Amino acid sequence: MSRFLFTVPPLTGHINPTAAVGAELTRRGHEVAWAGHRGMLEPLLPTGARVLPVTDDALDRLLREERLALRGAAALKSLWEEFIVPLGQAMLPDVEAAVATFAPDVLVADQQAIAGPVAARRAGITWATSASTPAEVLKPLAGMPKVEAWISSLMADFQAGSGLAEAVDLRFSDRLTLVFTTGALVGDVSRFPGHWIFAGPALAGRPDRGTFPWDWLDSRRRVLVSLGTLNGLVGERFYRVAVEALADLGEDLQAIIVAPPGMLTEPPPHVLVTDHVPQLALLPHLDAVVSHGGHNTVSETLAHGLPLVVCPIRDDQPIIADQVVAAGAGERVRFGRVRADDLRAALLAVLDVPAYRAAAQRVRDSFAAAGGAATAADHLEKLS
């Protein structure tokens, strides 16, 4: 049997696929460990999972209100200068210690945990990429060569500072890049290198802890409204618009809004406001989802054959929203400017027009055929 070490940033959507793949590898008899932020990892991993803690303050930097307000090029610049590179610098000593302690046969690095490939190269061990979002895979900066060159220079400087004379693209392993989506969203995958494996979302075997008032649900249609784990602080306007859009739909609809405590008070009786839901457990009981376009929520929703209304905010979310629309599985609205009438119309469209659900089910079927965690584990085993 082999040893696999996952290195991940302190972000739920980036940890989740590794939790499922790690659970599958463990089921097959391999030894698995994670190097990352213990407080983020332990609630998301299977009980008893081995965590080799990494000390950093990257999550605090990422959640700064000033950064959350950034958009476009400013957000990209901040992502690399204030999060990805400092995170790599902070993680590297502890990741190297984890490599020395755990002695993995294969290191699996999330694309935003660039300390992983550097530690693997310094130790002379095989590394694979975990691409938890398809944004980088689609080369969105291909039309902006100066921006791509700037990112390459940041990665080269980080590697040179770590004693690696030859720089490589730390976002893509030349042995195995696992992409947790399929051609149903990204298009023809035959144009990608053969070692890029489009495994689909990795959901099986992943814990989904948390409570929910299941007896609150009745026979009406049900909708989830969620902006993910990082965007609640900038979502107050959107949440209030959502409540207004839902206000007169109580005869036919129940809605669950995931929002920070105290942000929404006195919602109508058919709207439940909570700061957390066991999302995987809840999805089979829903009819549609309103999302910010985070790849984790979008993938989980489509894996259940449900249509979406997507309101992208920043980073990779506009790309993912466009994929949903292109697949015919949802509608897109503008996060900062959407009005209640627009949001209501988009939501009723995905609920009432069968074509949206049919398209979502086609994506679901492509996910199932891709294999998810089992396919990812198959290819990782071949590296060990």
Report the SS3 class of residue 68.
helix
- Tens digit of pLDDT for each residue in 201-225? 999 877 777 789 999 999 999 999 9
Give percent above pLDDT 90 in the chain: 76
Say what the pLDDT of residue 252 is.
95
Q: Which of 40, 20, 44, 43 has its CA nearest to residue 32?
A: 20
Tell me the average pLDDT of the chain. 91
Amino acid making up residue 128: A
Which range (29-38, 204-213, 326-335) has the least confidence?
204-213
Judged against a pLDDT cut of 70, whether residue 47 lies above it is answered with yes
How far apart are the C-alpha atoms of 107 and 114, rounded to whole Å?
A: 12
| Mean pLDDT, residues 12-27 | 95
DSSP secondary structure of 288-350: EEEE---HHHHHHHHHTT--EEE---STTHHHHHHHHHHTTSEEE--TTT--HHHHHHHHHHH
What order of strands is seen across the sheet that includes strand 288-291? 271-274, 253-258, 221-226, 288-291, 308-310, 330-332
Higher pLDDT pick, 22 / 233: 22
| Mean pLDDT, residues 321-339 | 95
How far apart are the C-alpha atoms of 11 and 206, rounded to whole Å?
A: 15
- Enclosing H/E stretch for 361: helix 354-370
- Tens digit of pLDDT for each residue in 285-329? 999 999 999 999 999 999 999 999 999 988 889 999 999 999 999
Say what the pLDDT of residue 59 is.
52
pLDDT band at 71 (very low <50, low <70, confident <90, very high): low
How far apart are the C-alpha atoms of 112 and 68, rounded to whole Å?
A: 17
Say what the pLDDT of residue 384 is.
85
Query: Which domains does the chain possess?
Result: 3-175 (3.40.50.2000), 214-368 (3.40.50.2000)
Say what the pLDDT of residue 141 is.
56
Has this prediction a pTM greater than 0.85? yes
- Tens digit of pLDDT for each residue in 103-119? 999 999 999 999 999 99
